[in-house]
Structure 1
Amino acid sequence: MAEQETNSGLEGFGKKLLSLFIKDAPENQPRPIPSAPQNNPVTAPVSQNAPVSAPVTPVMPSPTPPAEGSVDTRFVDHFASVLSKANQPGPDYFEFRETLKNLSNLNLSEDQQYQAAWASFRAMGGSADVSALINSANQYLTALNNDQQAFSRTVDSAVNEKVGGLSNEQKQLQAENEQIAKQILELQRKIDANNGRLAQIGGEIDEQSRKIAQNKGNYEATLAVFVGQIKRDLLKLGEYIKQ
């Protein structure tokens, strides 16, 4: 039951998160994701006369440009979980963003919206030091950047496992096809050689058959001479020599 309530809370947080950053986004219709800014996290002075606070080190962009995508509710819920874990007690950047979003429907200039949101944020009990608000926003960026790094490692692992495995299979099949093609070529050459030999054998069979038949005829003719000679001699012996 506690897990169901947690999941329900995260789902609601995800929808709320989506509404804060994407104006009038439908719940079930994907919308194009705007390109993520590559600049460092925003910093601002602690006060009008105070020095600028140090920025949080940004995550280096991936060498491969991300493919164009659309808002996916699965990732909305995921980022909701990431941001909820980074959320600190009390008013912080998330509440400031919520207030700023609510002011977007009013007929105010951008600087007036931010000034009004800042005043409302302090009225909610938020720190009067703008650097605290900036630090909380940078904490969200850091949490998202860390999650992006982990996701990139997961993507790289998936590429190595899935795409790398398929690439190896592709190379293996190509090598097998090349080997089979060579075997087919060799077999075709063997067939051509056999066909040539078969044509020769047909002529040789005729020639050898003729020679054998000729030899047989010569044998029988020669045999008939010897048999006839012996038979004549036997006949003459019986005629001329008496016992």
Structure 2
Amino acid sequence: MAEEKSLGRRILSFFINEESEHVQTQTTATTPNPENEPSQTQIHQTVAVQNASGTGVIDKKFVDHFVQLIEKSNLKGPDYFEYMQTLKSLSGLNLSEDKQYQAAWASFKAMGGVSEVSVLTTSANQYIGILDSDKKAFLNDVELAIAEKVGGLKNELKNLQNENENMAKQIIDLQNKINENNAKLTKVTTDITEQSAKITSNKSNYELTYNSFVEQIKGDILKIQQYLKSEA
């Protein structure tokens, strides 16, 4: 005789067809991480089936969490999930959907002694309430994660932008200083050329004038020695 599935496994089968399930069914007690970072014991994979809104994929990490949450919150006595298990057992009988629901209800009443359909809807709504409470807690964690992680990253982004702006301003200031120095370099180079020319010219003039004076004096000495020799 085949081993009966655990409640968690049966709950999982209501939402994901085992034939299309491509992930391990191991579950953990870890609360879903709003930062989408799996714990070391958690296998983070996705199931290739559409969710109720028809978009995206159902994340196995969250499926495991919801299954465990509902399993822990399973109400005493036959209720929505026991009925859904009965309904699922009739899926291979080629009955129309309404006939399947009616046949499952008849079988469910006979096994569980429940006679009011409201037991099903009431318990189903209770499970929705449990999931809603978990969603509120999760969304609160999301906001905290955004404030802590994303807020910190935004501050870092702002700091980097300010740093870049300051460095860009410094680059502009440095470039302006370089341009100013280049203008001065041009002027100084011109001044060097002009001053060198003036100095060289003065040197030449000095030497020429010097030579003129010295030659004049030497000439005078020769003439003195020549013309005043007899007077000595």
TM beyond 0.5: yes
User: Residue 189 of structure 2: which of 195, 202, 207 is its match?
Assistant: 202
The answer on 1:141 being equivalent to 2:128 is yes
The answer on 1:151 being equivalent to 2:138 is yes
Contact 1:18–1:76 (Cα < 8 Å) also in 2: yes
1:152-171 alignment, distance < 5 Å: 152-171=139-158
Distance 1:77 1:12 in 2: 13
Deviation larger for 210-219 or 124-133: 210-219
Amino acid aligned to 2:192: I
Contact 1:17–1:80 (Cα < 8 Å) also in 2: yes
Work out the number of aligned pairs and report it: 201
Distance 1:126 1:20 in 2: 23
* Paired position in structure 2 for 1:95: 82
TM (norm. structure 1) is 0.68
User: Residue 18 of structure 1: which of 12, 36, 39 is its match?
Assistant: 12
Q: CA deviation at 1:200?
A: 1.9
Q: CA deviation at 1:119?
A: 1.4
* Structure 1 SS opposite 2:144: helix
Contact 1:92–1:126 (Cα < 8 Å) also in 2: no
The answer on 1:32 being equivalent to 2:49 is yes
**Overall identity of the aligned pairs, in %:** 52
Contact 2:22–2:48 (Cα < 8 Å) also in 1: no
Stretches of structure 1 lacking an aligned partner (at least 5 in a row):
1-10, 37-66
* Paired position in structure 1 for 2:99: 112
Contact 1:19–1:25 (Cα < 8 Å) also in 2: no
Q: CA deviation at 1:205?
A: 0.4
Distance 1:126 1:201 in 2: 108
1:7-59 Cα shifts (integer Å, max 9, x gaps)? xxxx94433222123334434251234225xxxxxxxxxxxxxxxxxxxxxxx
Q: CA deviation at 1:94?
A: 0.6
Distance 2:85 2:117 in 1: 16
Distance 2:81 2:109 in 1: 13
Contact 1:18–1:25 (Cα < 8 Å) also in 2: no
Amino acid aligned to 2:14: L
- CA 225–12 in structure 1, closer or farther in 2 if over 3 Å, else same: farther
Distance 2:55 2:140 in 1: 20
* Structure 1 SS opposite 2:92: coil
* Paired position in structure 2 for 1:211: 198
Amino acid aligned to 2:107: S
* Paired position in structure 1 for 2:62: 75
Contact 1:99–1:117 (Cα < 8 Å) also in 2: yes
Stretches of structure 2 lacking an aligned partner (at least 5 in a row):
24-46
1:114-138 Cα shifts (integer Å, max 9, x gaps)? 1111112211224212222211111
Distance 1:175 1:18 in 2: 51
Contact 2:70–2:127 (Cα < 8 Å) also in 1: yes
Distance 2:7 2:157 in 1: 45
Distance 1:97 1:126 in 2: 16
Distance 1:207 1:126 in 2: 117
* Structure 2 SS opposite 1:124: helix
* Structure 2 SS opposite 1:133: helix
